[in-house]
Chain A
Amino acid sequence: MSERINILKTYKIYIGGSFPRTESGRFYNPINSKKASLGNFCLSSRKDFRNAVVAARKAFGDWSDRTAYNRSQILYRMAEVLEGRRDQFIAELILQDSSKKEAEKEVNLSIDRLVYFAGWCDKYQQIFSSVNPVASSHFNFSALEPTGVVAIVANQESSLLGLVSYMAPIIAGGNTCVILASENKPFCAISFAEVLNASDLPGGVVNILTGKKPELLSQMASHMDVNALCYSDAIQEELIQIRELSIDNLKRVRSYKYDLSLTDVEHPYIINDYQEVKTTWHPIEVIGASKSAY
Chain B
Amino acid sequence: MSKKKIETEKISWEYAAAPESASHIDIKEKYDHFIDGKFEKPSSGKYFDSINPATEQKIASIAEGNSKDVEKAVIAARNAYDNVWLVMPASERAKYLFRIARLIQEKAREFAVIESLDGGKPIRESRDIDIPLAAAHFFYYAGWADKLEYAFPNRKPTALGVVGQIIPWNFPLLMAAWKIAPALACGNTVVLKPAETTSLTALKLAELIQESGLPDGVVNIITGDGKVGAEIVGHKGIDKIAFTGSTEVGKIIQKTVARTEKKVTLELGGKAANIVFEDAPIDQAVEGIINGIYFNQGHVCCAGSRLFVQESIKEIFIKKLKDRMETLIIGNPLDKNTDIGAINSKSQLETIQGYIDLGKREGFELFQSSCKLPKEGYFIKPTLFSDVAQSSRLAKEEIFGPVLAVQTFRTVDEVIEKANNTPYGLSAGVWTDKGSKIFNLTSRLRAGVVWANTYNKFDPTSPFGGYKESGFGREGGIHGLSAYLKFD
- Chain A's nearest CB lies how many Å from the CB of B337? 19
The answer to whether A88 has its CB under 8 Å from any CB of chain B is: no
Whether the Cβ atoms of A280 and B468 lie closer than 8 Å is no
Q: How far is the CB of A120 from chain B (nearest CB, A)?
A: 13
A227-B468, A250-B251, A250-B254 are contacts. A138–B477 as well, Cβ < 8 Å? Answer: no
Quick check: which of B34-42, B322-330, B446-454 contacts chain A, the rest being far away?
B446-454
Complexed CA–CA distance, A280 and B474 (Å) = 14
B479 touches A277 (CB 8 A): yes
- Number of A residues whose C-beta is below 8 Å from B? 31
A269 proximity list for chain B (CB < 8 A): 155, 487
A134 contacts B459, C-beta separation under 8 Å:
yes
Closest to A64 in B: B443
Please give me the residue from chain B that is nearest to A147 by CB atom.
Answer: B467
How far is the CB of B273 from the nearest CB of chain A, in Å?
15
Q: In the complex, how many angstroms separate the beta carbon of B92 from the nearest chain A beta carbon?
A: 25
B438 touches A250 (CB 8 A): no
Known: A127-B153, A136-B459. A280 touches B469 (CB 8 A): no
Is residue A288 within 8 Å, beta carbon to beta carbon, of the partner chain? no
Contact B452 A279 (CB under 8 A): no
Report Cα–Cα, A135/B461, bound state, in Å: 9
The B439-486 residues at the A interface (CB cut-off 8 A) are: 442-443, 447-454, 457, 459, 461-465, 467-469, 471-472, 474, 477-479
A132 CA / B247 CA spacing, docked (Å): 28
Establish whether residues A278 and B453, one from each chain, have CB atoms under 8 Å apart when the complex forms: no
Binds B, one of A14-22, A70-78, A241-249: A241-249
Q: How many residues of chain B are within 8 Å of chain A by beta carbon? A: 42
8 Å CB contacts to A: which residues of B62-83?
none
Given A276-B467, A279-B464, the answer on whether A267 and B454 have CB atoms closer than 8 Å is no
Task: Report A15 CB to chain B, min CB distance, Å.
Answer: 24
B266 sits at the interface (CB 8 A): yes
Cβ of B136 < 8 Å from any Cβ of A? Answer: yes
CB distance from B344 to the nearest CB of A (A): 25
Q: Judging by beta carbons under 8 Å apart, are A133 and B461 in contact? A: yes
Closest to A253 in B: B258
Query: Does chain A have a CB within 8 A of B372?
Result: no
Chain B residues near A130: list those with CB within 8 A: 463, 477-479
Contact of A283 among B449, B453, B477 (CB under 8 A): B453
B251, B465, B477: the one within 8 Å of A132 (CB): B477
Give Cα distance in the complex from A29 to B173, angstroms.
61
Give A243 to B155 CA distance when docked, in angstroms: 26
Contact: A282 with B462, CB < 8 Å? no
Contact check, A142 vs B251: say whether CB atoms are below 8 A apart. no
Given contacts A130-B478, A145-B443, whether A280 and B450 have CB atoms under 8 Å apart is yes
* Interface status of A252 (Cβ within 8 A of chain B): yes
Within 8 A of B (CB), among A119-160: 127, 130, 132-136, 138, 140, 142, 145, 147
B461→A134 contact, CB < 8 A? yes
> Does any Cβ of A come within 8 Å of B255's Cβ?
yes
* A293 CB contacts on chain B under 8 angstroms: none
- Say yes or no for B363: interface residue by CB 8 A criterion: no
List B contacts of A132 (CB < 8 A).
Answer: 459, 461-463, 477
Give complex CA distance A284, B259 in Å.
Answer: 47
Residue in B442, B461, B471 whose CB lies within 8 Å of A280 = B442
How far does the alpha carbon of A282 sit from the alpha carbon of B442 in the complex, in Å? 11
**In the assembled complex, A289 has its CB within 8 A of some CB on chain B:** no
Question: What is the bound-complex CA distance between A130 and B476, given in angstroms?
Answer: 12
Name the one of B251, B453, B467, B478 contacting A247, with C-beta atoms under 8 angstroms. B251
Q: Does B250 contact A (CB under 8 A)?
A: yes
User: Do the beta carbons of A277 and B465 come within 8 Å of each other?
Assistant: yes
Q: How far is the CA of A127 from the CA of B150 in the complex (A)?
A: 12
Is A258 on the interface with B (CB-CB < 8 A)?
no
Contact of A134 among B255, B462, B478 (CB under 8 A): B462
Chain A residues contacting B465 (CB-CB under 8 Å) are 277
Q: What is the minimal beta-carbon distance from A151 to any residue of chain B, in angstroms? A: 16
**Interface 1/0 per residue, A217-243 and B, CB below 8 Å:** 000000000010000000000001001
Cβ of B154 under 8 Å from chain A: yes
C-alpha gap A127/B464 in the complex (Å): 19
Smallest beta-carbon distance B15→chain A, Å: 20
Question: CB distance A267 to B154 under 8 Å?
Answer: yes
B468 neighbours in A (Cβ, 8 Å) = 227, 249-250
Measured between alpha carbons, how far is A138 from B456 in the docked complex, in Å? 12
CB neighbours of B474 from chain A (8 A): 277
Given contacts A250-B468, A281-B452, 11 further A-B contacts (CB under 8 A): A132-B462, A243-B254, A243-B259, A247-B254, A247-B255, A250-B251, A267-B154, A267-B155, A276-B467, A279-B462, A282-B453
**Which 6 residue pairs spanning A and B have beta carbons closest together?**
A243-B258, A134-B459, A132-B461, A282-B452, A244-B258, A247-B254
Q: What would 22 A/B residue contacts be, using CB atoms closer than 8 Å?
A: A132-B459, A132-B462, A133-B461, A135-B461, A138-B454, A142-B479, A147-B467, A244-B258, A247-B251, A250-B251, A250-B254, A277-B448, A277-B463, A278-B448, A279-B450, A279-B463, A279-B477, A281-B454, A282-B452, A282-B453, A282-B454, A283-B453
Which residues does B use to contact A, with CB under 8 Å?
136, 153-155, 247, 250-251, 254-255, 258-259, 266, 268, 423, 438, 442-443, 447-454, 457, 459, 461-465, 467-469, 471-472, 474, 477-479, 487
